[in-house]
A and B are shown apart, each in its own frame.
Chain A
Amino acid sequence: MRKFQGLYHPSYDHDACGVGVLANLNGYKSHDIIRNAIQVLENLGHRGACGCDPATGDGAGLMFQIPHAFFRKECQLINISLPEVEEYGIGMVFLPRDSKNRVWCEQKVEQTVLAESQVFMGWRDVPTDANQIGELAKRTSPFIRQFFVKRGKNIENREQFERKLYVIRKVIESAIYQELSGDDFYIVSLSSKTIIYKGLLRADQLGSFYDDLNDEMIVTALALVHSRYSTNTLGSWQLAHPYRMLCHNGEINTIRGNKNWMHSRECSLSSALFGDDITKLSPIIHEGASDSAGFDSVLELLVSAGRSLPHALMMMIPEAWENCEVMPDNKKAFYEYQSCLLEPWDGPALIAACDGNRICTTLDRNGLRPFRYVVTNDDFVVGASEAGVLDIDPEKIIDRGRLEPGRLFLVDTERGCLVADEKIKYEISSSKPYRKWVSNNMINLEDLPISSATPGYDKKLLREHQQAFGYTNEELEILLSPMATEGDEPIGSMGNDTPLAVLSNKPQLLFHYFKQLFAQVTNPPLDAIREKLVTSLASSIGPRNDLLTETPEHCRQVRISRPVLTNTELSQIQSLNYDDLKSKTLPMLFRKTSLSDALEVAVNELCIKASRSIREEGVTVLILSDRGMDRDWIQIPSLLATSAVHHHLIREGLRDQASIVVETGEPREVMHCCLLIGYGATALNPYLALETVRSIASDGLIDCDGTIAQENLIKALCKGILKTMSKMGISTIRSYHGAQIFEALGIQQKVIEKYFTWTNSRIEGIGLQEIEIEYRKHHSQGYPDRPLPHSPLLEDGGYYKWRADGEYHQFNPQSVALLQNSTRLGDYQIFRQFTDSIDSQSQHLGTLRGLFQFKKVQHSVPIEEVEPVQEIVKRFSTGAMSFGSISKEAHETLAIAMNRIGGRSNSGEGGEDQERFDPDSNGDWRNSNIKQVASGRFGVTSHYLVNATDLQIKMAQGAKPGEGGQLPGHKVLEDIARVRNSTPGVGLISPPPHHDIYSIEDLAQLIQDLKNANDKARIHVKLVSEVGVGTVAAGVAKGKADVVLISGYDGGTGASPESSMKHTGVPWELGLAETQQILVQNNLRGRIVVQADGQMKTGRDVAMACLLGAEEFGFATAPLVVTGCIMLRKCHLNTCSVGVATQDEKLRKNFSGKPEAVINFMMFIAQQLREHMAMLGFRTVDEMVGRSDCIEPKLAINHWKAKGLDFAKMLTTIRVPEHFARYCCEVQDHQLEVKLDRRLIKDSKESIEKGSPVQLNYSIQNTDRTIGAMLSAEVSRKYGERGLPKNTIQVKLKGAAGQSFGAFLAGGISLSLEGETNDYTGKGLSGGIISVFPPFKVNFTAADNVITGNVALYGATRGQAFFCGRAGERFGVRNSGAEAIVEGVGDHGCEYMTGGRVVVLGSVGRNFAAGMSGGIAYVLDEGGVFSTLCNRESVDLEPLVNPEDLSELLRLIETHVHYTGSVRGKEILGSWSETRTKFVKVMPVDYKKVLLSKILERGTKVETN
């Protein structure tokens, strides 16, 4: 393996991209397909990326059928005489450039072919032209050759030959990878059917690089193309797609688990088709393979072993079948059966796979990637990530469509047709009696006998156990009681300021040394509440049989509906005692009196017992239990036991033969359960937590009885587990199970390797001995050697709230008092006392930076020579806190302060009142220069965007990364509703993902959109620190963001689930160091500003951040404290007594903050930074950025846990060439000059200046993206929110528009498009009018035709949009004021909508109106099935009878016809009196209430008048 510098590891890389497929349905081969494929690739170019050197792409490739004539001709030239078609295979190979290695590899290839009894025919050098490719690509380019293998005599048929070629490839790889890395040798393809040409190329370079592709003799009926966008740029040829069978756009979130499970299956694989060859296939997935490569490997295995391509894809990416009531039963049975064999590969994915004759494309269950296709009347099919990638005469088109979530799209050249999803799935699911198999073999948990009664508890025993398991008072009050009462996870606020577990002086649970990972940019988190229908917590317990065969016994398992078990349910599992399903309980305990290493010995013994039980007793369910914990026996940490057994069994090849169930007193919060499941437990029984809530209930402390309390607790835990999964974008627990979506923070590598294999742990830390000490401490709480007489009370805890003998908090009584007093009095000496109290962490190791000290590597400079505070403070900003979470007074105080000193305040996500955009008469300016764009898009209008110097895309927030938010109705006051474009009193939801960012290339698109919406602003991307954030930052830099913000996990917030605040993400120190290292290494650092924030409070904090790589700094909690916050931690309750984080009028009067105090704070911090700079010898901040050589770990760390930490990787200085920048010194090239909008602006100059009407005409194509945004910016700057009078600038366009057509379109502009549009049409529509209609001469029905992509009108606030045709998923998502008409929509239509009108004149997909809280939708329900497709949790469905509604609808349809000429619209108008009865009015319940009360209010006013 390669050695990597610093914190980077290639497993953190992500990619995403554009995919295209082309085929002739009849299998007619032509060179046209190749030519068109290359054209498609070029038109998808913007979905790929370039690295530091613009000529080097991230990868592009092409797969097609082997053109026999071409190779016969070519081989003749080199004296190879090819046999007949199908009698030979071609290997395409990347070989080492070094000739000695190359010859060695070639020999291995030849030897293997011979050893497998096939005929090696020879090598061909592939002609390439490296002239046009980039420097980096050239430097890393391999030697590319092809070899030819003739079918041996022992092979009977083509399929068997293909299988043999697969075996040969695996054998060669295994042999060579023992010596060389994948960078040096790589078999691109080896097949008798297909061949792949790919490389580290830009989309437009493929054709010129591989000269073969231009040869007219290269003909094919099928082609797959791919253009790659990778987060890193360290060139890699083999990572380009296609892989052997597929191209992939998206990301497999559960890859770690999928790999683990595959690994454990290898021993049990058997297949008659392979015979003895099966053993040669290991490893199925090479360690270090990317998610796409891993997927490819398993797909290839399944297909080689005899399953059809669609069958294999259905197994790996099952559609959402669990909650689907309308699914045919045999299909459901098929999926349930398959779920016993294979866990889903979960994540956003568009997979396009080819087996030589068929191309099968499938989309993940959430439909998170786009795929649009066109079929022509000459049997040509082209499908791609975007519409319009190929210029096709509209008259030839007979079908235009899109792939829907979970569906298959099959081009079968053998059958000569497109096979519909229903048809192919019906064929496959009825090929075997799956329903019968499932009914006969699967057991429901509730049908099992209940064994013995569970042991009872008295008060004393309960208290002892609680103490021995380390329960605290706080946990009972803050976690367990609310869960038991509400069935929901508890909410807290103001972030986390306690130390990491490894720095804590208090004994910790092992759980707390892990942090949850979360989806960020490269894949989206999910909304497990509003999009529940795709999620599932159901799974099954029992052994798994061989993956390659299908027998009835394969589904001999016990169904469980959720992973948290009651005592009764556990006892039912304990009672399992059949021949093929047998459980056994293994105690996870160690003896108190045993001497040193007791824990280690006990864990190892437990592992051996586990494997022995499986091997010798045929046990299929292992129950790990700490029920026996008592005075003499101490519990083994349940996480350690679970993961140790899990990995031990994987290593022993036994993992598939038994499930692990954990019976433990330890877990009591969501995070604990998630860890147990993530490290291998199928289910757990948290008996002590259950007992605790029962006792809380029976003591009358909560308002429910014991059983309900227990049920509520389980419900809350399960909800939380689902939430945690969805933070990573994972939908089903089957794929979360064992997926290890965590990073360890503060655990020794040795422990990780042995017990938590393949978990990221970057700073070392404690070993088993320390863990044992901690657990002994817990235990002695319950069983002290010298008990005191009075009834023992639980420890207080002090993790959530400060307590004198609780956990250390950086914000404590002293620090808050000193900070407030010093900044109010302007007293630098007192401020010093404050910072000393934070910085001198000799007793309390608060933070990682607290363990560092400065190292002088050069002479100090006089402080007078250091840049002045006035310059330094310009690098400061305040954190994103929305007006809504904090009060108007607090929000404006921060803005005024930052504007006075030239820093920046941040609007937060709630929009901003226009009246703040211009300075006040007294000279103060309340405008926030950073305007945030978050997933809710509240008040994000063109006018909002132009009134900023910085636009910040919030990908995540420190306190709850991967989650959305909710502003309850009672907090949505008049003012707040106004700036958020919503209705007062109606709750608002910020979705977990940005619905226009499901991958890195989507983010690049949003960056582009915002840059267009305000070309003068810097575009920020806010990320939260986690492992791999550096590679994401590199992707962000390549996506042309101007600033990347690395936020710590500990940030404050208005409201967040407690488990998110404590357990998700990592400190900024780690993320920042990683970011700096990777940006520098990739030579991207010069292009992007790096900002850091997260609980920064002192000049020393800032200095550390600067040395680790930041040049700008953010502060949020500290300035809030300066304005009066006293960490009440009640923001979520609206009762902030000092008026900072409340909307309560009365409390807001208590606000006493002053801009002067905030300014003092900023100036003091800057002054302290200067002092550090002078000492370290830096005159400017720029010089200081990234100088991690000026940091060293404190020498005398003698904390018993922290002393094991190792910061070498973090503090490494990356070795790069001299000219690589270490801080931002260039500007990104946004290529705005070439935009169509420049012409629009030029051509409508007079209109903008004088308001005179103008009409313009242009033709466009899919590479013309974000049309209209830049023009809108000009209008908004001049005319403000209202824009120009309607239709002042009329633009007529022809063609297929690129993404974000009409984004942020301002009032007075209308775009009229003859053609079609891609995703994000009308995003943030701000008053303009968009109309899209097909050309007049087409051969399909417009209303059945997909005319616009996914996520149209996301966050639209005003204006109108008319679509003559159907739209994709999430039409009108978060629309808050626009009017739109469309003739059919996909899933999740009108999701989160808060205002405006949507009219659908055709069928809708599932989950319509999920989370919709305002506005009205009118849906034409001709089939009468709408009510089953609508998510009715927040809306009522009403018949359309009210004359006001009817006239509104009529007006809208008439306008639709006016703008688009819609045939559908005309038909409806033609039969209006009849059709109007078929409309359903979708009315949000809360919205209705508010409207009603307004009407009543108006009524009473009238009366009193």
Chain B
Amino acid sequence: MRVVDPVLQELRESLLRMGSLAEAILEKALTAVWKRDAVAAGEVKGDDLEIDRLDVAIDEAVLRILATQAPVADDLRSVIAAKMIATDLERVGDLARNIAKGAVRLAEHPEVAIPPRLRSLGDEVQRVLHRALDSFADGDAVVAEAVLEQDDQVDADQDVVIRAAIEEITGRPDLVSQGVDFILIAKNLERVADHATNIAEDVILATQARNVKHAAKLES
């Protein structure tokens, strides 16, 4: 076993833990929205701190590995990808916090039925994030590619939810606050999906040495 192997393994485990945490607080925030649970929503902020701490730890670990081990080839790509994935996961944590804030506001206002499309968007995004994290855990570029393909669908579904919410608001001006919160939650969910996409792109770079970022934009 090489000197660098345990260090790389530790980095990987930190990332996996960060990924689980991100999924967990996204779940908690969304559940708080669906169940109007202001208490649970309040806990999310504290949970996010743990993610932030992991982000800083991973920063340090990456610097140390680059300086002392001078990794090349696969190892180098894995280490760079790890840093990028950590950044994306940290952003997911922040977005979950935003969703939780939305949950608190919804709980404080008169109850409105959760639009079913919003709910299914939430489930969809959670699934996308989960698959992206799976592709990282398994080093599976095929699954990562599938994640990339789902992004367009998520964007489309988010558009539908927002338009429906806008229609509701124009019809019922007394429900503006809830409507706006639904829109914001939808937007945050869409950005979570973007970050999941980034994670999938990083996995492809690490495993296949192919950089597919901004592919659509660059090609046109």
The finding on whether chains A and B are genuine partners in a shared complex, rather than unrelated, reads no
Q: Which residues of A contact B (CB under 8 A)?
A: none
